Structure 1
Amino acid sequence: MASVTTAYTFMHCVLFLLLTVRFSSCFMNWGDGYRRKVSLELNPGLGPSLTPPPGVGLVHARAEGVNDTLHYLFCSQGAPALLLVHTNSSSSTLEVDWRAFLARNTSGSLRVEPQNSILYSNAVVFTRLWEYDDVNDTADPSKVPPSSFLAPYELQTFTWADLNATLDPVSHTALLCGGDGGDSFSNGSLCLKFSAFEAAGREQGWPSLLHNANSSQISVRLDGVKPRSNGSRFSLELQSVGGAYPMSRVDVLRSIDDEYTPSIFKVSQWVSSPPNSSSSGLGYAQWKPVAYRKAKPVFEDATPCHHSLPDPLARLPPSGLVLAFYTEGSHSPTTGLNISFSITGDPYYNTTNYLSWTVLVGLGSAPMDSFSTLVLTIMAVGLGSPLLIILLGGVWVCVRGKATPTPAAYEPIN
């Protein structure tokens, strides 16, 4: 009887722990059920009388909510850029004056109407790719002598492939690949893959960033580019242009869970927030501080990356999209930073001739990974096992005490 009672108690405790873990996992990891209706279009409103220059394209992803809309604009005119515009109307539209837009000299040639419905806007521009000869293996551009830096690749001068060939309206993605036409890019390319999302989730491949319905993603890939030195390392320059509140600081957050990005316990967020505020409630660019040296990486192919502090800049970046939407001056503050790849002792770029890095761009607070099912299970077992042992021990003592006959107070004398 005691063994049956103990077995039932044990089964009930285990079942309770498993249900607790399952419920907590669902609540913590998949609680964002908000969805948007996303549509993708290339060169919206462009008539047959105009033909963009080769490699110039404008992708418009419209993410409609219940009473608001997110407009993502991904453009290859000049330096490639991603512009996010949030409106408080579910019927806001994009208007492009194509003649002025292609001329790249008219602010206001690209608008979101009605303009008084715009709540927030921000653009992330990929301006330069820096290459340096890391002769001392420091993997730190700030410690490299100026003579070790090679001429930067100005992305505004790149020739880009036709976006029409890579646009996928079903998966809401577009792939932009190009090069500078020189010897280094004769058999290689720099590619940027844009993705828009309808709901919360994550992509399968590392770094598997968690996204939601208020976010988009850019994956950067340097593939097959011929390095100009035996010890080449790279750094990517980004610039951000905002409305009232530009992305002005980078927060580094820590975690104890690396299930989706092995060995990486940090996340970096370049955030837009009001002055003297610790919140990140307006907009962000988020990334894991890791890059990969192979297209299908294993653990050994991961390499850390680092960011510089954001610096204010005096001029708008050389992007046709930014110049068409924003006005030069104090109303369009600009900041910039560099993302450098690798650490001391890591292989140089020429070992694989491949490098990939991913950034999430979105509205509001960035989605954050909570404890995964695996970690919750470990915590439940670690905390629940002692309690279970105490509980089972108490039950065993009680049952054992009842089963043992109580001796009489006096023993008869024979």
Structure 2
Amino acid sequence: MAWIRVLIPSLWIVAYYCATVKGWEREITSELNPGCPDILCNGTFRIAHIKAKGPNDTLHYVWDLTKKPSLLLALTTHNATVSFDWDCIGNGKECSMSFSEKPLYRFGIVFNKMWEFNDVNDTGIFDQTNKSNSYVRVLNTEHFSWNRTVFDQDSRSVSIGVKSEKYVNGNTVKNGTVKLLVKGFGYLDHSEMLPHLLHTPNTSQVDFVIDGLTTEPSFSNSRFALELVLVGSDQTASNIQIVEHQSLDDEHAPGVFTLVDVETPDSAGSAKGGYLQWRPVAYISSVRDVANSTDATIYSPQNVTNPVEDLKGTLVLSGFCSNDTGTETCLNATLVQATAVSFGLKEDGFYKKTKYMAWTFTMGYGKPPDEDFSLLVILVISIGLGLPALLIIVSGLVMLIRRVSRKKDDLFLGR
């Protein structure tokens, strides 16, 4: 029957979704300050090492707060180990790390700087070419005082949060809170928090929050922007690609139909590189909803003119450049580019309206995941297709039965 022909494919779709949505997983283990003697680290959080072991390989995430906040992702075999040189603490040396065998792939991000800019024309756009003191102030992230606030873990995920409540750089002093929360996942699902980004077993999620930060007194309409330095073991002849594309619907992030993918050449070309992904939305309240949203605007990636200086003091640098390799020579053979993201939308009231801004993105290996219809949407579609067909068939049968009954009655009366 027609309604059966409609319902059966829909039921097959539901069954296939239920069978594949879980998929494969990675086993998560994590450690703070791995191998650091108590006399050196003294309870201070400096480095976190997260291992995500999969069926065929292991992803290592190294979350570094020794200076600039940075996150290194390295894909290795199961046999590879990571070691850290802790002699750096207290003797002025830079901390370093090394792998027991060369990683199959490496990708890193460094939270290099924040900009506070005076958007006097209320465009919501950051002009990176304007270096005037009346327009912009640079906040180097190494001058924030970072402290750990969260460390939760189980076999499927781990969360590490840090915050700074003061920025001091010479005569520049700012009070207020800047927070970073990194969550590593070993399974496929959507984040519990808006904008409910899709994560895979190859993904970590980062939440960036500015809360009550002191603004420049001479700026009437302050907004903020963030610079991320991206480092990959890709071919340096290619550039990082930024692709904005439409998602299927706004089920997970109401009112936002766009996804932004930032891919290294190996990710874009062969799905074996690093990527960032987010929806172009930020939130101006801790209560995340459509009414409290604004734009997160991405800018074209640029070559880094002085990569040694920007990566100095981060484990991302030592993760790519070993001690026996000249740093400049190493970085010349490494993809190093920077991109900026600004937060704000025309007529949203600027940062001063709520003095709060939150932005979320994911970082991972492979190809950025594509949004798909959830089981709920599939069920709704199946029911939406099946019920009308069923009603048509039932109505047709009722009419046919009535017509046949009427003809029989006419024949009976005619006798």
- Smaller-chain TM-score bracket: 0.7 to 0.9
Q: Is 1:267 the counterpart of 2:259 in the alignment?
A: yes
Match of 1:79 among 38, 49, 68: 68
The question of whether the paired residues in 2 share the 8 Å contact of 1:32 and 1:212 is answered with no
- 2:113 is paired with a residue of what secondary structure? strand
> Is there any run of 5+ residues in structure 1 with no aligned partner, and where?
1-8
The verdict on how the C-alpha distance between 1:250 and 1:102 changes in structure 2, with shifts beyond 3 A counting, is farther
Deviates more, 1:356-365 or 1:30-39: 30-39
- Seen in structure 2, the aligned counterparts of structure 1 residues 321 and 35 have a Cα distance that, compared at 3 Å, is same
Counterpart position of 1:241: 231
Q: Which amino acid aligns with 1:392?
A: V
Q: 1:351 aligns with which of 340, 343, 353?
A: 353
Are residues 1:252 and 2:237 paired? no
Displacement after TM superposition at 1:101 (Å): 8.1
Which aligned pairs between 1:15-414 and structure 2 lie closer than 5 A?
A: 19=11, 22-23=14-15, 25-26=17-18, 31-48=21-38, 50-51=40-41, 57-87=46-76, 89-99=77-87, 109-115=96-102, 118-142=103-127, 146-147=131-132, 148-161=134-147, 163=148, 166-170=150-154, 172-178=158-164, 179-181=166-168, 185-186=174-175, 188-228=176-216, 229-245=219-235, 248-274=240-266, 280-314=271-305, 315-316=307-308, 317-318=310-311, 319-327=313-321, 328=328, 329-380=331-382, 383-384=385-386, 387-405=389-407
258-267 vs 170-179, which deviates more? 170-179
Q: For 1:260, what is the secondary structure of its paired residue? A: coil
Note if contact 1:184-1:225 (Cα within 8 Å) is conserved in structure 2. no
SS in 2 for 1:172: strand
Partner of 1:166, secondary structure, is: strand
Q: CA deviation at 1:125?
A: 0.9
C-alpha contact 2:146 2:162 (8 A) present in aligned 1 = yes
Instruction: Say if 1:92 and 1:274 are closer, same or farther in 2 by CA, change over 3 A.
Output: closer
Cα deviation digits, residues 248-268 of structure 1 (max 9, x gap): 111112123111111111111
Deviation for aligned residue 1:398:
3.2
Count of aligned pairs between the two proteins: 392
TM-score scaled by structure 1? 0.84
Structure in which a larger fraction of residues adopt strand: 2
Does the Cα contact within 8 Å between 1:191 and 1:221 map onto a contact in 2?
A: yes
Residues 184 and 391 (structure 1), Cα distance of their counterparts in 2 relative to 1, 3 Å cut: farther
Q: What SS does the aligned partner of 1:167 have?
A: strand
Cα distance between partner residues in 2 of 1:76 and 1:39: 19
TM-score normalised to structure 2 length: 0.84
Q: Taking every aligned residue pair, what percent have the same amino acid on both sides?
A: 28
CA distance in 2, matches of 1:224, 1:209: 26
User: Separation in 2 of the partners of 1:72 and 1:80?
Assistant: 13
Q: 8 Å contact 1:21–1:373 — kept in the other structure?
A: no
